[in-house]
Amino acid sequence: MAKIVGGITTSHIPSIGKAIENNLQQTEYWKPLFDAYPPIHHWLDEVQPDVAVVFYNDHGLEFFLDKKPTFAIGAAPSYKNADEGWGIPTIPEINGDPELSWHICNELVENEFDITICQEMKVDHGLTVPMQLMWPNFSYGHMKVIPVCINVEQHPMPSPKRCYDLGKAIGKAVESYDKDLKVVVLGTGGLSHQLDGERAGFINKEFDLYCMKKLIDNPEELTKLSIYDLVEQGGAQGAEFIMWLGMRGALTGELNVLKSSYHAPVSNTGAGTMLIENR
Ligand code: DHB
Ligand code: FE
C-alpha cells in the first residue's frame, strides 16, 4: 500500500527562484533562508519518496479571477510552468501520476469533497519554487507530483477547518492506494505577509511561531480560526497558511519534527520551514 512518510512546509516566494537562478544562496541576504534546506535534502535522499502531494495556491497563472475552483486537483501526466511576468525562466516539466490522481479524486468525491479535476494544468511558483528548493538543480525527474490547488486569492475562500479536513481525506485516499509508494506531502506558502494595501509589508512573527507550534501539537485549535482571523493576524496573503493545514491533515501517524526554522523578513514575508516525519 502507499504510505505517507512525512510532511514538509515551505514558503514559495517567487524571488527564491530568482535567487537560485542567480546562484545567490550563500549571500548575506539569502543564506539564513537557504540554510533551512540541506537537512531536508539529506532526509529526501535517505527516504527516497516516489510521490509528492503538493498543497499550494495558484496566483493567477492557471486560474484567474474569472474561474476560480475552491479545490482543484491535477490528473495530468505532466505539468508545465509558464512565465509569470517576473522573467523567471520556465522550468523543466513536472511529472504527474494520473492513476494515483484519479484514485484520490474518486475517493474525495465519494467523501463529499466536490473538487475540480484538471487533466491539463499549468503550475506556478506556489508549486515550482518548493520543487526547486527540495530537489536542487531540477533533480526532481524521478518524482511524481499530485498538485492540490486551494483558492486563497479571491473570497470566498475555504475555511482552515475545511482545508484540514480535505488533507485528512487525501491522507486516507493515499493510504488506501494499492501500490507500494512512499509519499511525501508538501504545504507551501505563508507565513505572515501582505503584499499590497495599507498594511503592505505586515509580518507577525509571534503569530507565525504560534501557528508552527500548534500545527504539530494541536492543529484542531487552528481549525477554529476563520479565514478572516488568518488575514487579520497573518496579513492578506498570510491566509496561505491553509495549505499547511491541508498538509497537516494528511499526516495521520506519529509525528516527529526533524527540523523547524523561521526567518523574516524575506521579500516582506515570514518564511517558516518544517520537516515532519510521519510514522
Ligand atoms: C511573494 C509572492 C507570494 O506568492 C508569496 O507567497 C510571498 C511573497 C512576493 O511576490 O514577494
Ligand atoms: Fe504566495
For the stretch 93-132, pLDDT in tens is 999 999 999 999 999 999 999 999 999 999 999 999 999 9
193 Cβ closer than 6 Å to some ligand 1 atom = yes
The predicted-structure confidence for 228-258, as pLDDT tens digits, reads as follows 999 999 999 999 999 999 999 999 899 999 9
What's the pLDDT score for residue 86? 75
Q: Is the pLDDT of residue 66 over 80?
A: yes
Residues, the chain: 279
The pLDDT tens digits of the residues spanning 67-87 come to 999 999 999 999 999 888 877
In whole angstroms, what is the distance from residue 180 CA to residue 15 CA? 37
From ligand 1's centre to the CA of 269, what distance in Å?
7
pLDDT over threshold 90, residue 61: yes
Q: Would you call 12 a catalytic residue per the annotation? A: no
- Classify domain 3-278 at the CATH superfamily level: LigB-like (3.40.830.10)
Report the share of the chain in percent with pLDDT over 90: 95
Domain boundaries of the chain, sorted by first residue: 3-278
User: Is any atom of ligand 1 closer than 6 Å to the C-beta of 195?
Assistant: yes
**Residue 88 pLDDT exceeds 70:** no
In this prediction, residue 251 carries a pLDDT of 98
Does the structure show a pLDDT above 80 at 164? yes
Q: What is the mean pLDDT of residues 180-209?
A: 97
Q: Give residue 233's identity as a one-letter amino acid code.
A: Q
Tell me, using a 6 A CB cutoff, whether residue 278 lines ligand 1: no
Q: Please state the pTM of the whole predicted model.
A: 0.98
- pLDDT tens, position by position, 137-155: 999 999 999 999 999 999 9
For residue 42, indicate whether it is catalytic: no
Report strand pairing: 3-10 vs 94-95: unpaired
- Around ion ligand 2, which residues have CB less than 5 A away? 189
Ligand nearest to the CA of 152: 2
59, 103, 193, 263: the active-site residue: 193
Contact predicate 88/20, CB 8 Å? no
Question: Considering the chain, what is the average pLDDT of its residues?
Answer: 97
89 in Cβ contact with 21 (< 8 Å) = yes
pLDDT band with cut points at 50, 70 and 90 for residue 28: very high
Q: Which ligand is nearest to the CA of 269?
A: 1
